[in-house]
Amino acid sequence: MAPDLPRGSTAPSDAFGDLNRETATMTKTIPTSAQETMRAARRFSRRLMLKSTVYGAALAASPAIVHDALSSSGTLNFLNWDDELPNPVIPDFEKKTGIKVNSTPFSQNEEQINKLQATRGAGFDLCQPTHDRAQQFEEIDVLQPLDEKKLKLDGVLPSMIKASRDNWTWKGALYHVPHCWGTEAISWRNDLTKLEYKNLSFGTLWNDEYRGKVQGRPHSILLGIGLWMDGNGKLPSNRMLDAYKDEATMKKIYDVLLKEAIARKPWIKQFWDSADNTKSGFMSNGVVIGQTWDGPAISLKKAGSPITYMAPKEGAIGWVDGWSMTKAARNVAQAYEWLNYLHSAEASAKVAEGSGYNPVAKGADGLLSDAARAIFKEAYPEDAIERLWARPVEPSWFAELRTQYAEKFKAA
């Protein structure tokens, strides 16, 4: 997830098409990250349209996921996104390996970073950074390199593992492997309002009819306003990529966004900071529309709630969440068992099916239910995948300044 939020070759077997050319003016790490996320999403989208194996039958017929698991061996402690490990992902792993999992959930990247800095990673074997936080994690120095000889990365979509390699390789070693990918876009109560893709925009949130009925995350709303204002020509910003160039440019852009956001404050019913309160906003707090992650909205829809999630014309905001090993990891062998389990098609499909996010393992899309395929197609209609806006890797100064602007918006 999203995360804050969150959000390969060009051969047909591993391609998403070219990223918008404006990213060529950015630093090397920024276009690479965006390009790989775009490519992974496009590949997944195309594969969903192909005839696939029936989900239940495929799982029943599949071989054991973990072939060399440690029998009744040890424990594993990790710091994880609170909605990215749905049942039966952990119980199945424990049953297959005998390894006991201790999970500490978090709901925002800042919360994860603060926990890891406070203990220097002690108490956790694995953590779950979002792809755009690579530079911050390199600077706080709480991770150890992954031993690729112990990983089964041939089961991961090449574009996804390349995104990790390109942004999470330093000192000649890899520090991150993918877990799932998703987006941030517009979700709404379809029993209370009717919207169509041809007119949907991040600016739709500010229609008069939604005054006092909107939810969003402060810094995400600022980004959404930026993409909207860039799209309508009121604040040209190279699709907001100019904000990542340097502090002066970022401040110039965000000063305008903050003023616009404060003017829209009467539209806000609540600020969300987790999957759970995103859901409660829609179901019990009077929210009609919001800028949200895909997972919470899609989970509600799968459960029968009247929710629709869809990319706006400016492009859904894409991200990739992954796994990294802390320097303080004590249960290293167990950690590799976990990573290899998650990178099987079966486990990756279970993550996606239960969370509402999207898988990263080869063949996992063929194990998704018909309902999951239908929801994906609804969320990204027509040219929506081509318009994806992938979160660039953030310099630390950007993250710090963005937090300041978000806090000013909340406090206004």
> Which domain range does residue 95 map to?
55-181+318-379
DSSP characters for 314-373?
Answer: T--EEEEEEEEEETT-S-HHHHHHHHHHHTSHHHHHHHHHHHSSB--BTTGGGGS-HHHH
Same domain, 215 and 176: no
pLDDT score, position 44 = 54
Q: What residues are paired with 126 via a beta bridge?
A: 78, 325
Residue 23: inside a domain: no
- pLDDT bracket for residue 45 (50, 70, 90): low
Instruction: Name the nearest CA neighbour of 131 among 85, 94, 88, 182.
Output: 182
36 occurs within a structural domain = no
Q: Which long-range contacts (CB under 8 A, 24 or more apart) does 228-231 make?
A: 228/201, 228/202, 228/203, 228/314, 229/256, 229/257, 229/260, 230/314, 231/201, 231/313, 231/314
Q: Which of 180, 346, 183, 205 is nearest to 264 (CA)?
A: 205
Is 245 contained in some domain?
A: yes
Average pLDDT over residues 280-288: 98
pLDDT band, residue 314 (cuts 50/70/90): very high
Q: What is d(CA 395, CA 134) in angstroms, rounded to the nearest whole number? A: 9
Range in 31-40, 52-61, 346-355 the model is least confident about: 52-61
Structural element, H or E, at residue 284: helix 275-284
Q: Are residues 283 and 327 in the same domain?
A: no
Cβ atoms of residues 31 and 20 within 8 Å: no
Total of domains in the chain: 2
Find, among 358, 381, 216, the residue nearest to 294 by Cα: 358
* Domain assignment present for 15: no
Q: What are 168-180's pLDDT values in tens digits?
A: 999 999 999 999 9
* Residue with token string 């517009």: 186
Provide the H-helix boundaries in 232-274: 247-263
**Which pLDDT score, from 0 to 100, does residue 41 have?**
59
Nearest to 180 by CA among 53, 6, 328: 6
Task: Report pLDDT for 159.
Answer: 87
Q: Looking at residue 380, what DSSP letter applies?
A: S
Residue in 235, 207, 208 with CA at minimum distance from that of residue 222: 235
> For the residues 332-339, what does the mean pLDDT come to?
97
CA distances from 35 to 32, 140, 264, 324 (A): 5, 26, 32, 22
Residue 363 has what pLDDT? 96
CATH of the domain at 282: 3.40.190.10
Q: In this structure, is residue 225 part of a structural domain? A: yes
My answer on whether 290 and 325 are in the same domain is no
Strand partners for 178: 322
State pLDDT tens for residues 233-265.
999 999 999 999 999 999 999 999 999 999 999
Q: Are residues 192 and 111 in the same domain?
A: no
In this predicted structure, what is the pLDDT of residue 184? 98
Same domain, 128 and 226: no
Sorting pLDDT into bands at 50, 70 and 90, what band is 73?
confident
Q: How confident is the model at residue 6 (pLDDT cuts 50, 70, 90)?
A: very low
239, 305: one domain: yes
**Pair (141, 229) in one structural domain:** no
272 inside domain:
yes
Q: What is the CA 84 to chain-centroid distance, rounded?
A: 10
Same domain, 405 and 290: yes
- Same-domain pairing of 122 and 256: no
Q: Which residues of 308-324 are buried (b: 16+ CB within 10 A; e: fewer)?
A: bbbbbbbbbbbbbbbbb
395 and 48 in contact (C-beta within 8 Å)?
no
Same domain, 190 and 334: no
pLDDT above 70: residue 164: yes
Note the pLDDT of residue 193: 98
* pLDDT of amino acid 376: 95
What is the Cα–Cα distance from 381 to 395, expressed in whole angstroms? 33
Q: How far apart are the first and last CA of the chain?
A: 28
Tell me what the mean pLDDT of segment 76-80 comes to: 97
Do 244 and 191 lie in one domain? The reply is yes
Same domain, 350 and 287: no
Q: Indicate the length of the chain as a whole number.
A: 412
CA 389 to chain centre: 12
